[in-house]
Amino acid sequence: MNKPLILAVEDDAPIRNLISTTLKTNDYRYQLASNGKEAILAVSTQNPDIVLLDLGLPDMDGVEVIRTIRSWSNLPIIVISARSEERDKIEALDAGADDYLTKPFSVEELLARIRTTQRRLSYMTSEMLTAGSVFENGKLRVDYAGGCAYLDGQELHLTPIEFKLLCLLSRNVGKVLTHTFITQNIWGQSWDSNMASLRVFMATLRKKLEPTPDSPQYIQTHIGVGYRMVRVE
Ligand code: CA
């Protein structure tokens, strides 16, 4: 597979240089933008495979940039935010970002996020080819049409909400889903009581799904943000 073209949007020159040097030394193709307008123009004209997007841009709100891109494109967006921008990060994920990096980040973290996104891209491509009525990940198998799931060949006895939760996470494998996104999808609204229910259902789902629930393999917790199902080799 060709190395993907990565568009890095960052107004802070030292961080932009760190990103471009990292991408260059790891044989990625890349393009740079230093504000929101340049970013939107580059997405529409260069057709990048992945966007790295700083949320604090001089000309427009990063979340606005995501909403604009999402009006015509599903390409993966990894947001980069400062620790003080926790709310913006959640808003960015709700607006359609796929993943996030918090400043300061290491070169290894940056590369790991890009690799995760590449795996998600190749999974989505193969999913489109196979029509995707069955999902497989490690020892987990979800039969969407049949309404059942298996772990290591054994059927999992899931409640309807646990199954719905598992489907939502697996259909978005590799992507961080916020609490609001999940509760809206499962219950149709995101009241505080649903946030509490989500924690309970996630715990019971993990008990059935994870061989060692204390160190989960399939579903990661992002404290204060949400959950993500990861690809298991
Ligand atoms: Ca910035």
Q: Which of 25-34, 103-112, 191-200 has the lowest mean pLDDT?
A: 191-200
Higher-confidence residue: 208 or 233?
A: 208
Average pLDDT of span 12-40: 96
Kindly indicate the confidence band of residue 189, based on its pLDDT and cuts at 50, 70 and 90.
confident
Kindly indicate the confidence band of residue 188, based on its pLDDT and cuts at 50, 70 and 90.
confident
Residue type, 92: A
Average pLDDT of span 198-202: 92
Contact criterion met (CB below 8 Å) for 176 and 116? no
Q: What does 159-198 look like in DSSP terms, one character per residue?
A: -HHHHHHHHHHHHTTTS-EEHHHHHHHHHSS--HHHHHHH
User: Residue 54 Cα, ligand 1 centroid: separation in angstroms?
Assistant: 6
pLDDT for the residue 82: 86
H/E element holding 221?
A: strand 219-222
User: Residue 11 Cα, ligand 1 centroid: separation in angstroms?
Assistant: 5
Is the per-residue pLDDT at 61 higher than 60? yes
Taking the CA atoms of residue 29, residue 98, residue 94 and residue 33 in that order, the dihedral angle to the nearest 10 degrees is -10
User: Residue 19 Cα, ligand 1 centroid: separation in angstroms?
Assistant: 13
117: CB partners within 8 A, 6+ apart: 50, 76, 78, 98, 99, 174
Is the per-residue pLDDT at 152 higher than 70? yes
Q: Which of 13, 51, 8 has its CA nearest to residue 31?
A: 8
Is the per-residue pLDDT at 27 higher than 90? yes
Kindly indicate the confidence band of residue 127, based on its pLDDT and cuts at 50, 70 and 90.
low
pLDDT for the residue 86: 79
Is the per-residue pLDDT at 59 higher than 70? yes
How many H helices and E strands in the chain? 8, 12
User: Residue 131 Cα, ligand 1 centroid: separation in angstroms?
Assistant: 40
| Alpha-helical regions (H) of 2-159 | 13-25, 36-46, 62-70, 86-94, 107-129
User: Residue 34 Cα, ligand 1 centroid: separation in angstroms?
Assistant: 9
User: Residue 146 Cα, ligand 1 centroid: separation in angstroms?
Assistant: 47
Q: Which residues pair with residue 155 across a beta bridge? A: 150
User: Residue 2 Cα, ligand 1 centroid: separation in angstroms?
Assistant: 30
Kindly indicate the confidence band of residue 84, based on its pLDDT and cuts at 50, 70 and 90.
confident
User: Residue 82 Cα, ligand 1 centroid: separation in angstroms?
Assistant: 8
Kindly indicate the confidence band of residue 196, based on its pLDDT and cuts at 50, 70 and 90.
confident
User: Residue 35 Cα, ligand 1 centroid: separation in angstroms?
Assistant: 9
Kindly indicate the confidence band of residue 187, based on its pLDDT and cuts at 50, 70 and 90.
confident
pLDDT for the residue 128: 58
Higher-confidence residue: 191 or 128?
A: 191
138: CB partners within 8 A, 6+ apart: 217, 218, 232, 233
pTM of the full structure: 0.76
pLDDT for the residue 60: 95
User: Residue 130 Cα, ligand 1 centroid: separation in angstroms?
Assistant: 40
23: CB partners within 8 A, 6+ apart: 6, 8, 29, 30
| Long-range CB contact pairs, 73-77, < 8 A, 24+ | 73/43, 75/43, 75/48, 75/49, 75/50, 75/51, 76/49, 76/50, 76/51, 76/117, 76/120, 76/121, 77/50, 77/51, 77/53
Higher-confidence residue: 214 or 90?
A: 90
Is the per-residue pLDDT at 125 higher than 80? no
User: For a pLDDT cut of 90, what percent of the chain falls above it?
Assistant: 65
Rounded CA-CA distance 131/55 in Å is: 35
